[in-house]
Structure 1
Amino acid sequence: MKPDYLIVGSGLSALTFGALMAHSGKTVQVLEAHEHPGGFGHTFTMAKKYTFNAQFHYVWDCGEGQTVNRVLKKLGLEKDVTFERYDPDGFDHMRMPGYAIDIPSEPEELIQRLSNLFPEHAQGIRQFVNEVEKTGAGMKILAPPIDPIEVLKHPQAAFSTVQNLNNTLQDVFDKFRLPQAAQTLLALQWLDFLLPPDRLSFFAWVALFRGYQAGAFYPTQHFEDVINSLVKVIESHGGQVLLNQEVTNFRLTDKTVTGVEAMNLITHQTAEFTGDTVICNIDPQRAAKMIGEEKFSKTVRRKLDYEYSASNYMVYCVVKDLDLRDYGFGKWNLFHTGHQNLNEAFAQMYDRQDYSNPSFAITTPTLMTSASRDCPEDCQIVEFLTVANYDYFKQLRDRDPKAYRQKKQEILDTILDIVEKHYVPNFRKHMVFDITGSPTTNERYCWCPEGNSYGSILTPSNMGLGRLNHQTSLERFYFCNASSGYPGFAPTIWTGALLYQRLSGDVILGSG
């Protein structure tokens, strides 16, 4: 079989692209090294009865007429793949010593809540939120495909966006002189980026913060259903999704990529796969090294020279005979910090491996939907997430596996001490299962170099015009991945849909 599109990797952007192409009548073949499709969106089962999603927690851009909804409608899936909305009165609950705020969907309500906490800074708070709104509106106008008429209609928003192109979140906090505690409350979902305010692109923060304000969601039938539905579209239109196939080499004739060599990880046999066009969902840097970096143009080589995002530490946990709703949990996430300054909190954990006073997220997927699947009825799933340094954990694991396991346990014990002190007394008594993951776990199961969670790092220098896109400078070969688009559930769906739109001419996302 020589398909129209040979897709290397089955991350969400690739599955979106593949499903759209298959639905349009093209033949599609997907190769995936893992035993599950979906990349960071894959679901795994432990102890034969508990299911966990690898990395997705909550998502945005899923409302009527938004990116995810448009793609699902195109595929005829909008009635099957539905989403539950987080509480619009507080989708993120921010908690720190002396302060607490629930982040609401309405910007005006956010201004009021912050101003009640910091009355002497009410004017700066309003100016900051207005800047966020203007920049967010401008980012939408300037996002490809650009409509020049929209730019002319909203010059102020476009100007505000261009002005903030090189700013960090910290730069904009400082511009409006927000007090430290207000900065921390606003940026406490920093774990969605794994970067502190003084390194995080203001653009990246605005896109995600406003995205969640417009609607934070969780899939009604869990994330596994989203992935399986896309796979089903590909297969029902004659396409294939082949698992346990590790691509070991790319085939080139002159400047044209004609296919790949892959090894079956079960039989260890190698085979050649060809396609009229090859779509690369694996990390672009890794692919470029396999192909030979000198084969790419200078422009693409420059864009390929990105730093990877940080990685994370995860705990997948099950509690029994405990209803977390009785302890202040529900259709929202909870973010905790013991530090007033998130820049310092990041340095303490990431640079110094000191987790004695951690900042972390708590998410409760079982409370987001009434659809069963993730665990038995008398149990609930709780997940904890914080930042972790790949180099440190890899060296520790390679040098001393026992010390590696002890470090993971030490972080868990510190988090559980905080949970029992501030949120759920006797939490440990109800724990019936827990498993921890480190950056090396990400690398092993999600095939991400250095355990990175978001592809290329979300700093201002990497979020501007020099960011990598689908273009590779090679013939019939395109990138389709978080580093050649943007990371996260909705942005990767957007990346796959945008590439489909560009190659097919079929407009889903907008004109251009």
Structure 2
Amino acid sequence: MSDEQRLAADWTAIVVGSGMGGLTCAAYLAVAGHRVLVLEQAGVLGGNSHVFRRRSAYEFDAGVHYIGDCGPDGVLPSILRGLGLGDRVAFREMDPDGFDEIVLPGLRMSVPVGWDRYLERLIEALPADEGGLREFVAVCSAVGAEMRWTLLSAVGADPAEVLRRTPMAMAWGRRTLHQLFEHCGLSATARTVLAAQALNYGIGPEEATVGMHASVTDHYLRGAAYPVGGGQMLAASLTEAITGHGGTVRVGQRVDRVLVEQGRACGVVLDTGQELRAPVVVSNADYVRTVRELVGEEHFPASIGKRARTAVTGFPLAVLYVGLDRELPGRTGANLWWHGNTDVEEAFRGLADGRFDEPSSVFVSFASAKDPHTAAIRPPGHANFQVMALCPRSLEAWGAEAASENGGRYRRDPAYLAEKDRVTEAMLATAERALGPFRRYVTHLELASPATQRRYTRSTGGSPFGLARWGGTGARPDTRTSVTGLYVVGQGTRYGSGITGAAVSGIACAGQILGRPLLPEVHAGAVLGDPRMLPARGADWDPLRHCGGRAPRGTHAIPQ
């Protein structure tokens, strides 16, 4: 059967979008024997895990800045190992004595691996808050451990056993971080240190739940790492698992809508008008867009339509990509979390009110220090780093074209260009306050706005963090929907934000489709993929090219 004939009739599952959730789900379906088709509207696979190159000299990560829990029993390594990819993706450990550095006025603290050592550092930095810090860490460490146990072990467990094993998560998981701060009687400075890494999930203490904060913190305190070869290694390896087991992956293919007939998903329609049929459709698109645009509210219960209309996403990001003709003195691979004030809750209230004259805090990720041996990241002796800041949710400051629902032709809009120049200068000024003067050494400078994020991933509001509110506080939907045969994966689901959260949503979704607890299986050591079916990597193998990078747009299949 030719590929074109197969496009029309022979798919058992179609995955819309190639972020970590979509690729992980597609890979597990493929190794289980499904005939899988992945459709990506952009020209490169990977969603927020993709990379891009500039000047034939620098490679920048869109969203892979560091990954936690990458030890032998780590969640993401287990997911990859279960596909037969254990030897194809390696992780370079970041400094266990300080993988993150938190800087506030008058305070500097390195974040080490392990809750006990983390507590010691907190008490050293904030001795007046010792009692509250001990209570805070006791709650969060317990909630983090209990939620990880639930993820890896509780599938099929007796509900009474789950309740017995997760008392702290039941008591605190759905309450806000602000409520835990109040319970512990913590100072504004202590709250800022504890929430300093909130850009990992994109919302402040008054919106973030203790469960979300504890899970993310626990994730990194189990050990932080960076993929050897850069972020594109993840998408490229997952694609090898898909195509090696008979699936097909295509870029430049935008899905206009999901076909629903008699309450069942039965395929998709491309923006070209072509129909592709399959009894299972997995959307890796933004959850709100999936409900309101790809499927249509009329196919869901009224309560779901209402939640989609009133959903709140995480704050969007402005990202400054920087190349220098020299290394930054004194910088290691540790991420820098720099805060210009000591009241993180007030800073988030300012964002909620639309204030963004100059970033009050920035997150700086040093790719060239994390992966110094990958030549594509930067020329020898140069530096490659990113400066990130959260922005207000409304895009009106970026101009009418950028703020319109579909983005318009904002990139040439004078209002957009003026705001982009203003934000670039503001972020440069803040970055130099954090790092010292560097702008005279700049060889590449580029700003990505929330509108950029929305253009590449079609995310609501240009946020890379998924849903902040879906009905009640802390609520997020599961991957299974009320439409038979329709599933949703990615940042908007209950499995959390970030690279690992999205991958977990993918394997959880595949498990629901296949009717088996895949994540507990692979975490226990099961290998479902056959490494012998993976394509060979030649001496000139390039993960970006393998994912469609620099390929022409249009109907383009990733090499089998």
Instruction: Give runs of aligned pairs for residues 238-277 of structure 1, distance below 5 A.
Output: 238-263=246-271, 269-277=272-280
Match of 2:292 in 1: 289
CA distance in 1 between partners of 2:469 and 2:60 (Å)? 26
Instruction: Give runs of aligned pairs for residues 4-403 of structure 1, distance below 5 A.
Output: 4-143=12-151, 146=154, 158-263=166-271, 269-290=272-293, 291-298=295-302, 300-301=304-305, 304=308, 306-320=311-325, 322-324=326-328, 326-327=329-330, 329-349=331-351, 351-356=353-358, 358-369=360-371, 370-389=373-392, 390-395=394-399, 401-403=413-415
2:511 paired with 1:501: yes
Residues 1:81 and 1:357: Cα distance change in structure 2 (over 3 Å): closer
Contact 1:388/1:438, CA 8 A, preserved across alignment: no
| 1:43-88: CA deviation from partner (whole Å, max 9, x where unpaired) | 1222233221222211123321222112211111111101112211
Residues 1:363 and 1:65: Cα distance change in structure 2 (over 3 Å): same
Question: How many Å apart are 1:509 and its aligned residue?
Answer: 1.6
Residues 1:459 and 1:384: Cα distance change in structure 2 (over 3 Å): farther
Contact 1:309/1:453, CA 8 A, preserved across alignment: yes
Worse-matched range after superposition: 94-103 or 301-310: 301-310
Q: Which amino acid aligns with 2:340?
A: G
Q: Identify which of 441, 459, 462 aligns with 1:448.
A: 459
CA distance in 2 between partners of 1:109 and 1:120 (Å)? 18
Worse-matched range after superposition: 140-149 or 25-34: 140-149
Secondary structure of the residue aligned to 1:245 is coil
CA distance in 1 between partners of 2:336 and 2:63 (Å)? 16
2:500 paired with 1:490: yes
Secondary structure of the residue aligned to 1:56 is coil
Secondary structure of the residue aligned to 1:335 is strand
Residues 1:379 and 1:70: Cα distance change in structure 2 (over 3 Å): same
CA distance in 2 between partners of 1:258 and 1:459 (Å)? 26
Match of 1:266 in 2: none
Match of 1:472 in 2: 481
Q: Which amino acid aligns with 1:294?
A: E
| 1:373-430: CA deviation from partner (whole Å, max 9, x where unpaired) | 22222322110001113422443555993343333333333333344345233x0111
2:411 paired with 1:407: no
CA distance in 1 between partners of 2:49 and 2:375 (Å)? 18
Residues 1:496 and 1:380: Cα distance change in structure 2 (over 3 Å): same
CA RMSD in angstroms, aligned pairs only: 2.5
Contact 1:201/1:459, CA 8 A, preserved across alignment: no
Residues 1:237 and 1:375: Cα distance change in structure 2 (over 3 Å): same
Secondary structure of the residue aligned to 2:18 is coil
Residues 1:67 and 1:117: Cα distance change in structure 2 (over 3 Å): closer
2:420 paired with 1:420: no
Residues 1:459 and 1:207: Cα distance change in structure 2 (over 3 Å): farther
Q: Which amino acid aligns with 2:426?
A: T
Contact 2:359/2:389, CA 8 A, preserved across alignment: no
CA distance in 2 between partners of 1:156 and 1:345 (Å)? 38
Worse-matched range after superposition: 182-191 or 49-58: 49-58
**TM-score, normalisation: structure 1:** 0.91
Secondary structure of the residue aligned to 2:259 is strand
Q: Which amino acid aligns with 1:345?
A: A
Q: Which amino acid aligns with 1:139?
A: M
Worse-matched range after superposition: 377-386 or 232-241: 232-241
Secondary structure of the residue aligned to 1:510 is helix
**TM-score, normalisation: structure 2:** 0.84
Contact 1:32/1:246, CA 8 A, preserved across alignment: yes
Contact 1:35/1:244, CA 8 A, preserved across alignment: yes
Worse-matched range after superposition: 400-409 or 477-486: 400-409
Match of 2:558 in 1: none
Aligned length: 501
Residues 1:160 and 1:249: Cα distance change in structure 2 (over 3 Å): same
Identity of aligned residues (%): 24
Q: Which amino acid aligns with 1:111?
A: L
Unaligned runs of at least 5 residues, structure 2: 1-5, 403-409, 523-560
Secondary structure of the residue aligned to 2:274 is strand
Residues 1:65 and 1:299: Cα distance change in structure 2 (over 3 Å): farther
CA distance in 2 between partners of 1:274 and 1:406 (Å)? 45
Q: Which amino acid aligns with 2:123?
A: S
Question: How many Å apart are 1:137 and its aligned residue?
Answer: 2.0
Contact 1:135/1:157, CA 8 A, preserved across alignment: no
| 1:172-201: CA deviation from partner (whole Å, max 9, x where unpaired) | 111111121111111111211222222222
Q: Which amino acid aligns with 1:226?
A: L
